[in-house]
Amino acid sequence: MAVSTIEDDMRNIEDKDLLTGPLINKIFSFVLPLILTNLLQTFYSAADMIVVGLSNVDGAIGAIGTTGSMINMIANVFMGFATGSGIIVARYIGARDPDRTGKAVHTALLTGLVAGIICMILGLAFSRPILVMMGDEGHILELATLYAKIYFLCVPCLSLTNFLIAIFRAKGDTKTPLYALSFSGLLNIGLNLYFVLVMKMSVDGVAIATAISNFVSMLILLVKLMKDSGWCGLRFAKLRIDRNSLRAIIVNGLPAALQGALFSLSNMIIQSSIISLNNMQCPGGSDIIDGNAAGVSLESFAYTAVNSVTLASITFMSQHYGAHKFKRAGLVMRDCYLVASMIAIISMIILIGLQKPLLRLYVSAPLAIQTGETRIKLLIGTYFTLAFMDVGSGILRGLDRSILSTITSLLGSCVLRILWIAIIFKAYPTMFTIYLSYPVSWLLTGTFHLLFSLNTKKQLIRQYGLGE
């Protein structure tokens, strides 16, 4: 395998230079493949629920839906550290430091593998007790437990995939993950249909299909990184933990991991409240759980699109931070907020306009459809506030203020939602009351993110000079 010179590497990076020239075009070219990648992943997850509905197993859709917040609580641990890895790799690329970039890449991959194994063990050990605590019972509990345990067996592959994607994204390449996940996603749908329609399986079939497709996407990305002759190329002889890189990954990744896990904890409390309403209003049934799960699945299309801009803001801001271009960082903030708002508004128009036929792809019971509609109207109708919060969090992380971002998010969203459920929902136990907690927390948290980002930029300009 040919080894490139530093001059070659510089030219490779300049082909995807995020530090010069008009920003809005670069953000769109960076974000669009990322949006497609995330939308494809979301589509494949939605296909899991739609296909499992074809099994005619009562409660199968709701069972998968109830595992979401619990799985995310554990998965967000390694995803947080993957975010930290991407920040560090992007920062070293921005600083034009090939040695530290290579060390960070190899340290990140080992970290991803270890984090995935730990999360797998935790998931296998605690998934059923957590589901019981959330209120799952009877056949829904059995289905949810089966799905979760099979899912967690493939978490090491999923973890390593997320770290690989973070590395590609850090160097400005969002197309490679798109191609890899497109292929593995199509494989996932094919396997879903085979296991459910041919093998007559249910939640276990879609879980196995997910595990196989995650393994395939991991292999594709690993091979691609091995063939990379640049600073970020994988060389097995260099696979070792660099203490400085690991420390930087932990400093930037731990707050993101903690934030993601606690966000999921607050969502688990909300999910538990939804289950309690379902058990009161639909004894022996799952209409409310199913309707909420369908609404969450459709909402995830909007979230992944908006979150693509958040990931872009982290990469762009991290490279600008590494290059000390803090004056231009203000333009990154402006353009990322603008792009995210546009995407949120487009998502709102599409999903609210098509909510009835889309929900009927998942559920048919009137109460289930009504529950899904309530979620879509209230949450998607205010999604610009989530874009406001999410992008602000990414900007703070890119400016090396991960802890500040985490504290603000935890207080403004997690703590507020928990108090909301304990006080407001207890007084007015309806689905509308539950859903209203989201836009209120998004707007409050986003306001503080913006204020802190502006103040941080001013501090950095005073500390380092104007830059470019």
Q: Which residue has the tokens 């409050």?
A: 444
384, 390, 392, 398: CA torsion to nearest 10: -150
Q: What integer is the mean pLDDT of 286-308? A: 87
**pLDDT tops 60 at residue 59:** yes
Q: Which residues, in sequence order, are CB contacts of 117 under 8 Å at separation 6+?
A: 156
pLDDT, greater one: 329 or 120: 120
How do residues 373-410 score in pLDDT, each as one tens digit? 999 999 999 999 999 899 999 999 888 888 898 889 88
**pLDDT tops 80 at residue 65:** no
Pick from 29, 48, 59: nearest CA to 131:
59
Pick from 87, 79, 88, 90: nearest CA to 112:
79
How do residues 427-450 score in pLDDT, each as one tens digit? 988 889 999 999 999 999 999 999
pTM metric for this prediction:
0.70
Start-to-end CA span in the chain (Å): 37
**pLDDT tops 60 at residue 451:** yes
Domain boundaries, the chain: 23-463
- In this structure, the number of other CB atoms found within 10 A of the CB of residue 463 comes to 9
Cβ contact 370:62 at 8 Å: no
How do residues 264-280 score in pLDDT, each as one tens digit? 778 788 888 888 888 88
402 token code pair: 């991960």
Percent residues over pLDDT 90 in the chain: 26
Indicate the residue type of 427.
Answer: A
Average pLDDT of the chain, as a whole number = 85
**pLDDT tops 70 at residue 13:** no
Pick from 318, 323, 351: nearest CA to 336:
318
350 token code pair: 């599409």
Indicate the residue type of 179.
Answer: Y
Indicate the residue type of 143.
Answer: L
At 220 the pLDDT is 94
At 314 the pLDDT is 87
Q: How far is CA 65 from the centre of its chain?
A: 16
At 92 the pLDDT is 87
**pLDDT tops 90 at residue 107:** yes
Q: What is the DSSP letter of 376?
A: I
Angle between the N-to-C axes of helices 175-193 and 23-53, in degrees from 0 to 180, rounded to the nearest 10? 10
Q: What integer is the mean pLDDT of 185-190? A: 88
At 90 the pLDDT is 84
H/E stretch holding 350:
helix 326-353
Cβ contact 397:405 at 8 Å: yes
Indicate the residue type of 438.
Answer: Y
Q: Which residue has the tokens 């890189």?
A: 245
Cβ contact 390:306 at 8 Å: yes
Q: Which residue has the tokens 């399986």?
A: 201
Q: Label residue 45 by pLDDT band (50, 70, 90).
A: confident
Separation CA 278–CA 280 (nearest Å): 5
How far, in Å, are 257, 413, 420 from residue 416 at the CA level? 19, 5, 6
